[in-house]
Structure formats: structure tokens, C-alpha cells
Structure 1
């Protein structure tokens, strides 16, 4: 089976490409940065085909998926910039890819979404994720939607940052009271889920939600990090209003450390829905967060830009 992976050089996309190659798939890594993919994915003996294309450019999508049996949309956007909005990336572009896949006769489409995706949400990000799922299914009816909790692993933009800050700061500011519930999932487990959905899809199931083995409140997550790396910061609650005010100022920076949208997301629980099929139904035992923290500590990888 030939699989085109959009976002093939991203945090998740690289892992999907690697996992598919290991399982004998013929893989096409689609990205705006093929040079990066060549240096970070695969090997001389087992490497993906490199295709340069932009999901935001409709004219480049068709040639990029030509001849593919399956397509994976692992493209993500967490910070809006100018006309690069959540709506444009997660709704319009995702629908364009789904439409092109249908027209090209692609057999399977796996669309990566997020836990809590809801077209009625007040959050622009969550709303776009929900609208995107609807738009993709309107274009490609048999789409498999994989909603992921926050993904973690060496080089991520979440846990790697937390590990560094918990080690650095003797006093650690929490989002609110630190009561938001999270279910971080190892990125490699998400990639494995994608590979299994492509190799052997479960009949009559089109939506999956994947999360880690433990649900932790934010303050519990910080304590778990501190315990694992052997530090003892003082945790101090900080009102969400203060975080939002800081985010307004931070958004004037070339690369803001956090945005108002991200602050809003930290107000909402990010856990899988009871009864929804996920990693257990795919035969995957999720990696515990302590293992992932130790992986991050072992690599010494800095937070990705």
C-alpha cells in the first residue's frame, strides 16, 4: 500500500512515516520542507519518497497524492498568524485534501483531529477542529477521524517545555488552580494507531479518541514531572485573567511563548470520551507519562521552534 502523509516532517508526521516504513508500507512524505524530511526521517535503506507540496495550495495537492492508496492528514496549526488561521488550515485546506483524495480514487483517508473537537465551541481552535471533521467527511464519506489528546514526546511543544521549566523555576506558576484534567498520549502510540488503522481498519468504526493511560490534573502533571526529575518547585496558582493579559502582550513578540487561544484551551479538560474506541480497541498499550519524561530527559532535546 502506498500512503501519502501530509505534514510528514512534523512532530507527529515524522513518527507516522517512520512507523509505516517499518511495517513495509510504501510512504510518500508530503511537506513544504522536503530537505528537513531527508535529514530527519528514514535511512538510505528505508526512506520515504519526498514530495514538496503545500496543503494550502489546492493545485499542489493532486500531484502529491497521485497513485496513493491512502492519505493521512497530520498537518496541524496551533498559533494563528495573519491570514494563516485555524479555519483556513483545519477546515478549508483539510476539505480540499479530502476532496482531492476522493477524486484521485484513494481508498482510505485518516484525518488527525483533537479531543473535544466541536463546531459549536467558543474556542476558535476547537471550533475549527470540529468544523474540519464535518467538512472532511462531506468530501470523503469514509474518512477515519483520529482525535488525539495532547501529544508528548522528545521535541514536543508541551511536555518538553514543562520539563525544562520545572527544572529551571523554583516557583512554578499554575494555570488557575491547576485543576484542568489532561490525558497526555505518547506521540509514538498515536503513530502506531495510524499504522494499524491503515493496515487493518475496524469495520463500522470511523472515529477514535486516543489518550494516555492516566488522567492528571495540571498541578498533578507538574508534580509528576518534578518527582521524576528530582526537583521540588513551589506551585503557585495564577488566575487565568492574568495569563490572558500576559498573552496579549506576548503576541507582539516574533515567537510568542503562549497565546490567548492556548490560555483558553488550558481552561478546558482534554480527556477522551467514555465509551469511545481508542488505543485499547487497536491493541495498543499506551506508554506511561513517567517513561516519556525520562525519554525527554535522556535526549536533552530542546523545545522545537
Structure 2
């Protein structure tokens, strides 16, 4: 990255080693901030070092179930960002433990440490009355954060895309070996995919104090149905696969079997979540609490996704996509 003037301002980022975290840390480093990456395994976070100048990014050990390690991680921090989240439960990693209790501990520690900004990454669809336990836990986590840090900025992204994402890469990989791609509930659920880099820029603005407290919904420039997204995956990867419509009831029965696996491709909770559209609300649009409202022009799928899904083509980047 270009050399920048590094300030004395410290930002602690929880979960910065993940997919979205890398983009957030890069954007923070570009602002010249000192980044303290709080993770369970600092020894596995070396890939973040090239995102900043020498010594600008430092990883420390922290566990969101351990209040003491959290306090140590936020000590002296001017701002705190919480990116920690899970898509399915496993053992002690439950939605309540991660999205609610973990978020509460981090926000309380940030407040006690005198941090000036707190940014919580939630998700579009967070709703205390949702049929999805994931969505309910995200809503409870937001409530816990606001109770501990009243001026917190909460950001709810739609499906996030970018290199190493868990959405487009998963279905592109499936299309490589499967004769069909599933359309749960017929594929009519609407999404508004947002680029991870744009989420990072939004977080950086909040850390800089340029964003008013409250809830923001982050979506890309286009709304597409699940069917349209699967068609796009096949188009980009040059694969011809059937699109198989699976009723919600059937998908739920299949998920009951799949969710016992260590890394399930589908859970009953995810099936429940797919019954609701995952797009920026009219309220957020009207109040300007969106990427555009923050002065960020969101990147389109076409400008990013082909740059990493080419590896799923039969001949990789050498595939002639115009051949008949």
C-alpha cells in the first residue's frame, strides 16, 4: 500500500482476521490509524501485516467469552470495532454467546476504556420477531450494544461479496461438481449484495467520527433474486447447470440432516431466514442511512465478482467465455 503518515490514534478491531475484517483493517490503515487486531489466534493473523506500514497493524490475543482479555485489548483504544459473527451454531459458539453476550462485553469494555467511537457489524434482517434465531440474536446484540455504548454506530450489510466470500465461492464450487444448483423456496428471495471493500470504507468513516450514531443498512447498487444470483454464478463460471426449485418444507427437512455436519451447507435456521428478503429498507433509504447516504458509491457485482470466480471456470482465466 502507499506510504501514509501513521498517527497515534489506536483502533481495536475484534474479528479482523476474517473475510470482512481484512477490508476493514485495510481501510483503517489507509487512514493512518494504528490497528490492534483482537483475535483468538494472533499467530495466524500474519496475513494482515502487508495491509499497513511496518508496525501499524498489531494482533493481540482476545476471546469474546473472556472479559479480561477484552479489557486488555481495548485499553487505550480511541475506537473499537466489533466484526465477530457466526452463520451457524457449533458447540459453545452459539448465536447468543457470540452475537449477544460477546457484543455486550466488547461494548461495555469500550465504554469503560473511554473509547470515542464504537462500530458494531450486524446484518440486514436483524429483528427480534424474526423466525430466524440468527436474525433475532443480531437484534438482541444491537440492543445490548446500544445499552452499553449509547453513541454506537450499527451497520447492517446484506450478503457481502469479495474474494474469499462464503456466498459466491460456495455456489461456484458447487456448480463445479453438482449437476444442479438449489433454489430454496423457488429462488424468489431478494438480496442486495454489497462489496466488502465498501463495508470497510463505511466502518472507516464511522471510526473517523464522520457518521452519526444509529443504524445503517448497507446494500449494493442492485437488488437481485436468489435465482438471478445463481444464474449469474453460472454465467461467470461458464457452467451449464439446472436450477432446481426446492420448496421451503423440503429444504427444511434436508437441512435437519445437513446441519449435524461440522460445516453444514444448510441449516433449518438459514431456511427460515430465506423466507424474508435481505434488502435495504425503505426507512433506511428515506433517512439516508445507506452507503450512498454516507457518500460511498457502492461497487456492482460485475466489477468485482469475475475477478475471483474465474478460478471456477473449466480452464480458469484462459477460458474463452465467448466460445459457443
When normalised by structure 2's length, the TM-score is: 0.87
Using the TM superposition, give the Cα deviation of residue 188 of structure 1 relative to its aligned residue in structure 2, in angstroms: 0.9
1:15 and 1:191 in contact (8 A); partners too: yes
Using the TM superposition, give the Cα deviation of residue 232 of structure 1 relative to its aligned residue in structure 2, in angstroms: 2.8
1:167 and 1:226 in contact (8 A); partners too: no
What SS class does the counterpart of residue 5 from structure 1 fall into? strand
One of 74, 77, 90 as aligned partner of 2:83 = 74
Using the TM superposition, give the Cα deviation of residue 257 of structure 1 relative to its aligned residue in structure 2, in angstroms: 2.0
One of 27, 35, 58 as aligned partner of 2:35 = 27
What SS class does the counterpart of residue 13 from structure 2 fall into? strand
1:95 and 1:136 in contact (8 A); partners too: yes
Cα gap change, 1:53 to 1:216, in 2 (>3 Å): same
Cα gap change, 1:76 to 1:242, in 2 (>3 Å): same
- The more displaced of 208-217 and 32-41 is 32-41
1:150-174 superposed Cα distances (whole Å, 9 cap, x missing partner): 1111111111112222344333221
1:18 and 1:41 in contact (8 A); partners too: no
One of 87, 108, 131 as aligned partner of 2:96 = 87
1:174 and 1:235 in contact (8 A); partners too: yes
Q: For residues 13 and 77 of structure 1, what CA distance do their matches in structure 2 show?
A: 13
Q: For residues 133 and 255 of structure 1, what CA distance do their matches in structure 2 show?
A: 26
Q: For residues 245 and 311 of structure 2, what CA distance do their matches in structure 1 show?
A: 30
One of 302, 305, 320 as aligned partner of 1:293 = 305
Are 1:58 and 2:67 an aligned pair?
Answer: yes
Cα gap change, 1:40 to 1:48, in 2 (>3 Å): closer
Q: For residues 4 and 202 of structure 1, what CA distance do their matches in structure 2 show?
A: 18
1:71 and 1:110 in contact (8 A); partners too: yes
One of 269, 273, 286 as aligned partner of 2:277 = 269
Q: How many residues align?
A: 299
Using the TM superposition, give the Cα deviation of residue 255 of structure 1 relative to its aligned residue in structure 2, in angstroms: 2.3
Alignment of 1:213-228 (within 5 A): 213-228=221-236
1:17 and 1:41 in contact (8 A); partners too: no
Cα gap change, 1:103 to 1:147, in 2 (>3 Å): same
1:256-292 superposed Cα distances (whole Å, 9 cap, x missing partner): 2221112222222100112411110111111111223
What SS class does the counterpart of residue 145 from structure 1 fall into? strand
Q: For residues 136 and 261 of structure 2, what CA distance do their matches in structure 1 show?
A: 26
Are 1:12 and 2:20 an aligned pair?
Answer: yes
Cα gap change, 1:299 to 1:224, in 2 (>3 Å): closer
Are 1:160 and 2:181 an aligned pair?
Answer: no
2:315 is matched with which residue? none
Are 1:150 and 2:159 an aligned pair?
Answer: yes
Q: For residues 47 and 232 of structure 2, what CA distance do their matches in structure 1 show?
A: 34
- The more displaced of 25-34 and 285-294 is 285-294
One of 206, 211, 222 as aligned partner of 1:197 = 206
Using the TM superposition, give the Cα deviation of residue 298 of structure 1 relative to its aligned residue in structure 2, in angstroms: 4.4
Q: For residues 299 and 169 of structure 1, what CA distance do their matches in structure 2 show?
A: 17
Structure 2 portions without partners, runs of 5+: 1-8, 313-324
